[in-house]
Amino acid sequence: MSRYELVAGLETHVELATKTKIFCGCSTEFGGEPNTHCCPVCIGLPGTLPVLNRKVVEYAVRAGLVTHCEIAGVSKMDRKNYVYPDLPKAYQISQYDMPLCKNGYIDLSNGRRIRILRIHIEEDAGKLVHSRGNTYVDYNRGGVPLIEIVTEPDFRSPEEAREYLERLQFLMRYIGVSDCRMEEGSMRCDVNISVRPAGSEALGTRAEIKNMNSLSFITKAIAYEYDRQCDLLDSGEEVVQETRRYIESDGTTEGMRGKEDAQDYRYFPEPDLVTIRISKEDVEKIRASLPEDPDARAKRWQESFGISEADSAQLLRYRRVADYFDEAAKGLKNAKAAASCILGQMFRRMETEADKEKFETRVSAENLHALLQLLDEGKVRMNLVKSTLEKMLDSGKPASDFLSAQDLEGVSPEELDRLCTQAVEQNPKAVADYLAGKEKAVKSLVGFVMKSTRGRADAQKAEALLIDKIKAQA
């Protein structure tokens, strides 16, 4: 056990997935030719005024509710003044002393609770693009809505920070307020880190590492910074309060600017916008529109459907998948089959996590339900379900297009008996192998029966019957 305890807090910027920007009607879509998602308002032309997008407030309240925050009845926007070419008004419209949400938390799997100090809304800045020795500005991202989620310094290990961020990412996606794609910058993190002698309650001097956009960088940076600070203290030196940057190439951090160079943002209330008032009724309306609590949903699946913990976590990972599953599984005796269709066959067709998140499939939940209904009724077997589902996924047509009346009738005991006899008669080698102790040889006989019935037969029953017949023959 180390002599020092890590104390870290996170400030996470999450881009909200509203269709339009926070103060104008421009598209928030990522990418696009530079400066094409812009208008006089979001490039701050003289005389323009911001108008707050109601959806942004609604999304931020959703984020607040899912992280157990109190929602402020009265809130306001403030100006944060600083000069940088990517900020065309020379101030960012943000929230200073009256954030929309405060005092929430996220619980970790080790039982520790990470307290959320506040969540506020603000506008993103544009982006500098360096090319051929020149610097250009792209204002497409300027005015894209962000929430900043600030925790108390409650993290004691890099792993806790990682779990918190993964949980946050999951929750934001689940309630549909952000795609949280770190590689596209729609989720970015600043970390405050200090260390203190184990057992001490006082906070040490902290360093802040700015603007990290990968979970592994964040955990590495925290681990590196912890070691660096411990080493400093061990060698009798002091930690300096400063802003540091993470160096991706070697996993270290370096100082950017000290405390004395800290910017004075000269915050003051934004005079171009009015006070934000959110009534208790509005909050309740938003709360009612939230999807079922993810933990409760997983528990429900596990208890009433018998889905494993691992599978329910997979299904919950993306909101569309979870909703699709609930719709397809509703009323089925064998809801597990729906889970296995989704996590198996359907996910196999989706290469990336982004594909799974979008979950674009040609089979409607209703059609999957109808197919699995047949399974419930004993009219088809799982292997026929699988082959039919493949055809449905290819064509988008319902199961009824691929299953004949004969398919749906199943295989009668007489027919199965006849086919098994036939299999034994026509495959003497397999029979001999089986009798010689190669138990697996029976599988080829089962395959023969399945093939002759185009998958309609119950493979387990067929296997048992075949073994009986082989033994009777011997």
45 binds other proteins (CB under 8 A): yes
Amino acid identity of residue 313, one-letter, is: A
Tracing tokens 């998602």 back to the chain, one arrives at 37
- Give the span between the Cα atoms of 62 and 69, in whole angstroms: 10
**Closer to other proteins at the Cβ: 33 or 264?**
264
- 8 A C-beta contact, residue 9 and residue 192: yes
Which one of residues 4, 59, 91, 325 is an interface residue with other proteins (CB under 8 A)? 91
Among 271, 378, 413, 437, binds other proteins (CB under 8 A): 271
Cα angle vertex 176, ends 174, 178, to 5°?
105
Min dist CB 268 to other proteins, Å, is: 6
Please identify, using beta-carbon distances, which residue of 78 and 311 lies nearer to other proteins: 78
In which element (H, E) is residue 56 found?
helix 54-66
369 alpha-carbon distance from chain centroid: 25
Taking the least distance from each CB to other proteins, the nearer of 43 and 66 is 43
CB distance 156 to 57 below 8 Å: no
The least distance separating other proteins from the CB of residue 90, rounded to whole angstroms, comes to 3
For residues 431-469, one letter each, b for 16 or more C-beta atoms within 10 angstroms of the residue's C-beta and e for the rest, the string is: bebbeeeeeebbeebbebbbebbebbbbbebbbebbbeb
Residue showing tokens 């001490």 = 200
Is there binding between residue 256 and other proteins (CB under 8 A)?
no
* Alpha helical stretches, state H, 97-184: 158-174
- Does residue 43 interact with other proteins by CB under 8 A? yes
Closer by beta carbon to other proteins, 45 or else 240: 45
The Cα–Cα gap between 331 and 377 comes to 12
Single residue of 19, 29, 36, 51 touching other proteins by CB under 8 A: 51
Q: Which residues inside 334-393 make contact with other proteins, applying CB under 8 A?
A: none
Q: Which stretch binds other proteins (CB under 8 A): 48-56, 220-228, 318-326, 396-404?
A: 48-56
State the CB neighbour count (10 A cutoff) for residue 325.
Answer: 27
Q: Which stretch binds other proteins (CB under 8 A): 41-49, 167-175, 194-202, 325-333?
A: 41-49
CA–CA–CA angle 119, 125, 131 (5° rounding): 145
Q: Cα(429)–Cα(449) distance, rounded to whole angstroms?
A: 16
Minimum separation from the CB atom of position 96 to other proteins (A):
11
Site string for other proteins, 99-138 (x = CB under 8 A): ------------------------------------x-x-
Q: What is the CA radius of gyration of the chain?
A: 30
Q: How far is the CB of 307 from other proteins (least distance, A)?
A: 48
Return the residue of 40, 251, 258, 428 that touches other proteins, per CB under 8 A.
40
Sole binder of other proteins in the list 152, 242, 248, 272 (CB under 8 A): 272
3-state secondary structure of 146: strand
Which segment (87-95, 217-225, 331-339, 426-434) binds other proteins by CB under 8 A? 87-95
Which of 49, 129, 240, 432 is in the footprint of other proteins by CB under 8 A? 49
Closest distance to other proteins from the beta carbon of 73 (Å): 19
**Pairing relationship of beta strands 78-81 and 207-212 according to DSSP bridges:** unpaired
* Residue 79 vs 220, nearer CB to other proteins: 79
- Name 128's bridge partners: 137
- Give the Cα separation of 230 and 218 in Å (integer): 18
The residue range among 76-84, 221-229, 382-390, 421-429 that interacts with other proteins, by the rule CB under 8 A, is: 76-84
Judged by CB under 8 A, which of 3, 54, 266, 397 binds other proteins? 266
CB burial class (10 A; 0-12, 13-18, 19+) of residue 198?
A: exposed
Structure tokens at 223: 């681990």
Concatenated DSSP letters of 222-277: HHHHHHHHHHHHHTT--PPPEEEEEETTTTEEEEEEEGGG------EE-TTSPPEE
Contact flag: residue 44 with other proteins (CB under 8 A): yes
* Window of 38-46, 56-64, 241-249, 429-437 that interacts with other proteins by CB under 8 A: 38-46
Minimum CB separation from other proteins for residue 190, in Å? 20
Cα 122 to Cα 25, 95, 173, 424, distances in angstroms? 16, 7, 19, 74
366/399 Cα distance (integer angstroms): 11
Told to check if 294 binds other proteins by CB under 8 A, we report: no
Q: Minimal distance in Å, beta carbon 51 to other proteins?
A: 5
Residue with smaller CB distance to other proteins, 71 or 93:
93
Q: Which of 20, 27, 81, 345 binds other proteins (CB under 8 A)?
A: 81
Residue with Cβ nearer other proteins (268 or 417): 268
**Beta carbons of 207 and 243 less than 8 angstroms apart:** yes
Applying CB under 8 A, among 1, 33, 74, 83 the residue interacting with other proteins is 83
48 touches other proteins (CB under 8 A): yes
State yes or no: residue 52 binds other proteins (CB under 8 A).
yes
- Kindly list the residues in this chain that would bind other proteins in the complex (CB under 8 A): 40, 43-52, 79, 81, 83, 85, 88-91, 135, 137, 264, 266-268, 271-274
